[in-house]
Amino acid sequence: VSGSAPAALWGGRFEGVLAPELERVNRSLPVDRRLWREELAVSVAWARALEGAGALVAAESAAIVAGLERVGERLGGWSEREWAEAGDEDIHTLVERLLFAEIGAVAGKMATGRSRNDQVSTGTRLWLMAAARRLDGQLADLQRALVGQAENQVETLMPGYTHLQRAQPVRAAHWLLRHVWPLFRDRDRLADAIARAAVLPLGSGAVAGCPYPVDRAFLARELGFQAISENSMDAVSDRDFVAELLFVVALAGSHLSALAEDVIIFSTSEFGFVRLSDSYSTGSSLMPQKRNPDSMELARGKAGRLIGELVGWLVTAKGLPSGYNKDLQDDKTALFGALDTLGAVLPAVTGTIRDMSFDAGACAAALDSGMLATDLADALVDGGMPFREAHEVVGRLVRLSERLGSPLDALSPDQVRGVSEALGAVDLAAALDPGRSVERRAVPGATAAAAVRDQLRAAGERLNRER
């Protein structure tokens, strides 16, 4: 076989050189260089499949596979400068050029029956599947940090808020675990997204399918896919698997943001429920007293960027005509950007949570007896009063306490009886005890100690099962 390395893959029909202005915007190597391992794996599997289909003889496919291995060794040792100096259009053309340098013109046979259109979707799916599994591990780490804290805070009581107004007492462990369950759902969604990405596009060619009888099931097995695509046009056109992962990432980012917001508020001097460790707080260049929760603010802020990547990609992908379109090249910018962002912020959040300490005294001090007004109404209900009436009666007591500027538990028995005889019969001290209030909520999912311990056990068991 003879021939020389082609300048561009599609050089044959063009006479002029590509305008530098177009080249600059068209080149994707600076982004898709991260797919080099996937590109090599896809190419090795393809060479074997071509041999199986009779499109390559054994010696050719062996030369290609050995050559690809050497290309892998070479790329594995490339410095940033070497990557920067490679002028290739994308990872596919780069690998083909390097393979040519290794084995000569037989390298050109690897392109038989395939197209960058099915290659890029295959490589991107492979990359996504591995990245999503790494992300799953990072989410599990954060869950372990939250559960670890919760184990030590079952006895700590703090206000549960609605509208950020003190509502009812809860166990601090209950608050911590509140942030564990959404992460399980994120991880379920991640597993779902991986399963839908694990469908092999290779064999779809440019749009109409491969004209050689390649064994696509073999390709799927070789590369770790669970199934093969049913329609070659769909396989090269659609990047819904990218959109889906971006959604999962954006939602996980928004869960981190909600956790971060709680921690930021609870670590203020006004609340003081938690204190961040020195390693996870930053100081101010001006104000010596400052301890800033930067990791949490970054987590809250980055959620904006993650949502942006999702929305941006959905807009790019909408309304494209069937078949590959260059618009699709941007999927990797969105995908890498989102996963890099979340992948960087998550360990910082996990470390902050793991190192954070609680001030049980400050948590308890924030529990005022007004938060037990519901419990007081419940006590009247226990005596046979309909809840709506009880709510009204306790409402009058709250009004009195506000007028007198005296907390509920400081009102005299006469003042209480003055509001309602039924109220006078209630054991006020018991009804207004936050410890009893949380213990009264013993149904599954509620904040009584036994229910919280059940929750801890369920979360811990699931985390251990997955290990």
- Interaction of residue 117 with ligand ARG, rule CB under 6 A: yes
Residue with Cβ nearer ligand ARG (61 or 115):
115
Q: How far apart are alpha carbons 206 and 245 in whole angstroms? A: 25
CA dihedral 131, 137, 138, 139 (to 10 degrees): 110
**Least distance in Å: CB of 334 to ligand ARG?**
12
Q: Is 281 left (phi over 0), alpha (psi -120 to 50) or beta?
A: beta
CA dihedral 80, 82, 88, 94 (to 10 degrees): -100
Q: How far apart are alpha carbons 62 and 82 in whole angstroms? A: 28
**Least distance in Å: CB of 442 to ligand ARG?**
56
Enumerate residues 6+ apart whose C-beta is below 8 A from 7.
none
Tokens at residue 286, please?
A: 């001006």
**Least distance in Å: CB of 324 to ligand ARG?**
5
**Least distance in Å: CB of 340 to ligand ARG?**
18
Residue span 383-402 as binding mask against ligand ARG, x where in contact by CB under 6 A, dash where not: --------------------
Q: How far apart are alpha carbons 127 and 120 in whole angstroms? A: 10
- Interaction of residue 237 with ligand ARG, rule CB under 6 A: no
Query: What is the three-class DSSP state of 160?
Result: strand
Tokens at residue 442, please?
A: 């013993």
Query: What is the three-class DSSP state of 73?
Result: helix
Annotation marks residue 174 as catalytic: no
**Least distance in Å: CB of 3 to ligand ARG?**
22
Residue with Cβ nearer ligand ARG (92 or 302):
92
Annotation marks residue 163 as catalytic: yes
Tokens at residue 353, please?
A: 């949570």
Please say whether the beta carbons of 397 and 408 come within 8 A. yes
Among 120, 172, 198, 263, binds ligand ARG (CB under 6 A): 120
Only one of the segments 38-46, 115-123, 297-305, 390-398 lies at the binding site for ligand ARG (rule: CB under 6 A); that segment is 115-123
Only one of the segments 77-85, 321-329, 343-351, 406-414 lies at the binding site for ligand ARG (rule: CB under 6 A); that segment is 321-329
The beta-strand segments (E) located in 332-440 are 357-358
Tokens at residue 387, please?
A: 């809840």
**Least distance in Å: CB of 329 to ligand ARG?**
4
Number of residues that bind ligand ARG (CB under 6 A): 9
Residue with Cβ nearer ligand ARG (127 or 175):
127
Residue with Cβ nearer ligand ARG (237 or 329):
329
Alpha helices in 152-239 (DSSP H): 172-178, 181-197, 216-223, 232-237
Residue with Cβ nearer ligand ARG (28 or 267):
28
- Interaction of residue 447 with ligand ARG, rule CB under 6 A: no
Which of 4, 79, 163, 279 is catalytic? The answer is: 163
Got the DSSP string for 137-151?
HHHHHHHHHHHHHHH
**Within 10 A of 341 (CB to CB), how many other CB atoms are there?**
18
- Interaction of residue 324 with ligand ARG, rule CB under 6 A: yes
Residue with Cβ nearer ligand ARG (123 or 253):
123
Burial class of residue 24 (count of CB atoms within 10 Å of its CB; 0-12, 13-18, 19+): exposed
Instruction: Give the largest CA-CA distance in the chain.
Output: 107
**Least distance in Å: CB of 124 to ligand ARG?**
8
Residue with Cβ nearer ligand ARG (216 or 239):
239
- Interaction of residue 32 with ligand ARG, rule CB under 6 A: yes
- Interaction of residue 118 with ligand ARG, rule CB under 6 A: no
**Least distance in Å: CB of 366 to ligand ARG?**
54
- Interaction of residue 232 with ligand ARG, rule CB under 6 A: no
- Interaction of residue 329 with ligand ARG, rule CB under 6 A: yes
Residue span 85-114 as binding mask against ligand ARG, x where in contact by CB under 6 A, dash where not: -----x------------------------
158 membership: H or E segment, kind and range? strand 157-162
Residue with Cβ nearer ligand ARG (31 or 256):
31
Cα 127 versus chain centre, distance = 16
Q: How far apart are alpha carbons 70 and 251 in whole angstroms? A: 41
Chain residues binding ligand ARG by CB under 6 A are 28, 32, 90, 116-117, 120, 324, 328-329
Name the residues annotated as catalytic. 163, 284
